[in-house]
Amino acid sequence: MAKALVLGATGHIGAHIVRALLAEGHQVRAAYRSERFLPVLEGLAVERARVDLDSLDGLREALAGCAWVFHAAAYYPGLRAARAQALERALSSTRRVAEELLRAKVERLVFTSSASTIRYVAERPATEADTEPWPLQSWRPLYTTVKIAIEHEMHRAQQAGLPLVITNPSICIGEYDAHPFSGRAVLAFAKYQIPFYLDHTLHLVYTGDVGVGHVRAAQRGRLGERYLMTQHQVPIREFGHLVAHAAGVSPPRWRLPRAVAYAAACVLEPLARAVGAEPLLTREMIASTRAFPRRLDGSKAARELGLPQTPLADAIARAVHWFRAHGYC
Ligand SMILES: NC(=O)c1ccc[n+]([C@@H]2O[C@H](COP(=O)([O-])OP(=O)(O)OC[C@H]3O[C@@H](n4cnc5c(N)ncnc54)[C@H](OP(=O)(O)O)[C@@H]3O)[C@@H](O)[C@H]2O)c1
């Protein structure tokens, strides 16, 4: 059994990778940054290592003796981040981390990227073969731009010898989401009971399946390949109904026209900034729902990695239950 280092082990995806590794009997070194989120690892038989990927503190020591590395701690910009600084931070930190990983001569690096890096294709569902060239020629939301830039850097490191497999999860829904980012979609309907929905389709995957998929990517993933991990394609209205049903609250009732949502975002963004919170809606979010209606084909990860296929209602129920049990809603 390989010894594995999980970077971002206290994160939503990392917490599931840790559990999937333990379920198969692997030894795990769980890297965390802030002690605040350590309860996510409570009760697990793992070695803990403090690692800061900005300063690289602890990374070299944490890598020692680990054949597999799972990197589920790549930078993503919050909804209030400034574009140029976010991009600069993403590129410089990815380069420095990749250099350390190359130096450590690991057997496998499974890097968690995002489904948002998959190119938009109009005429058919997009697959992992649809890559976006970098630098980008057209406007993309900041999150997407940052993720594409980071993937580009990781591919450069692969050409320099890093044994890389990339995973591209869509929106992850499940338990252990202690820093709810994708989980905000669940909380919007379970906690805030937002009565509105946008006419837009979400691509979703159960995070537990993503954790298992990462372990399979280390075992069977082909070097240099990307694996799009997505299972469910549902309109926001249907998603809201499933969440409301799981939480026992009222479902969203009214369709919010984009123009009204955009106007609401214009008000909510400065309000959120004033109180130091992440806004529920941003203008960029609304613009991206118009710019990128897309269909995704996640069959390669199902075929090659045997990605498990948990029903969406189960994933939502697990998320709602966990958020409730941990005081998030
Ligand atoms: N969740 C999704 O729906 C989704 C979908 C596709 C792709 N992704 C990508 O997958 C990655 C993981 O996502 P996630 O949802 O698991 O994120 P998350 O819940 O926010 O967790 C991020 C993890 O990375 C750690 N981390 C962040 N910056 C770090 C740094 N500079 N040094 C050391 N550790 C650091 C965090 O440590 P702390 O606990 O100390 O904060 C945490 O353990 C991200 O790159 C994200 O963009 C996520």
Q: At what angle do helices 312-325 and 207-220 cross, to 10 degrees?
A: 110
Q: Peptide bond preceding 135: is omega within 30 degrees of 0, i.e. cis?
A: yes
Tally the C-alpha atoms within 13 A of residue 54's C-alpha that lie toward its C-beta: 7
| pLDDT score at 101 | 98
- Give the residue from 178, 175, 150 showing the smallest Cα distance to 71: 150
Is residue 246 included in any domain, yes or no? no
- Reading the block at residue 188, the tokens are 């919007």
- Residue range(s) defining the domain that contains residue 17: 3-180+204-233+295-312
Identify residue 14 by its one-letter amino acid code: G
Domain count, the chain: 1
d(C-alpha 284, C-alpha 262), whole Å: 9
**Do 282 and 269 meet the contact criterion of CB atoms below 8 Å apart?**
yes
- Residues touching ligand 1 (Cβ under 6 Å) are 8, 10-14, 32-34, 37, 51-54, 72-74, 76, 112, 114, 169, 171-172, 179, 181-182
Is residue 173 included in any domain, yes or no? yes
Quick: pLDDT tens for 171-202.
999 999 999 999 999 999 999 999 999 999 99
CATH number, domain containing residue 173: 3.40.50.720
Is residue 257 included in any domain, yes or no? no
d(C-alpha 211, C-alpha 64), whole Å: 23
Is residue 21 included in any domain, yes or no? yes
143 CA from centroid of ligand 1 (Å): 13
Quick: pLDDT tens for 24-70.
999 999 999 999 999 999 999 999 999 999 999 999 999 999 999 99
Is residue 190 included in any domain, yes or no? no
User: Across the chain, what does the average pLDDT equal?
Assistant: 95
| pLDDT score at 197 | 95
Atom of ligand 1 nearest to the CA of 147: 47
Is residue 111 included in any domain, yes or no? yes
Shortest-distance Cα residue to atom 2 of ligand 1: 172
d(C-alpha 76, C-alpha 57), whole Å: 19
Atom of ligand 1 nearest to the CA of 9: 43
Is residue 245 included in any domain, yes or no? no
Helix residue ranges, H only, 105-170: 142-159
- Pocket probe for ligand 1: among 153, 170, 179, the residue whose CB has the most ligand atoms within 8 Å is 179
Residue with tokens 């008000």: 267
Quick: pLDDT tens for 287-312.
888 766 689 999 999 999 999 999 99
Residue with tokens 């503190």: 57
Report residue 285's pLDDT band, with 50, 70 and 90 as the boundaries: confident
94 CA from centroid of ligand 1 (Å): 14
Quick: pLDDT tens for 200-226.
999 999 999 999 999 999 999 999 999
Identify residue 199 by its one-letter amino acid code: D
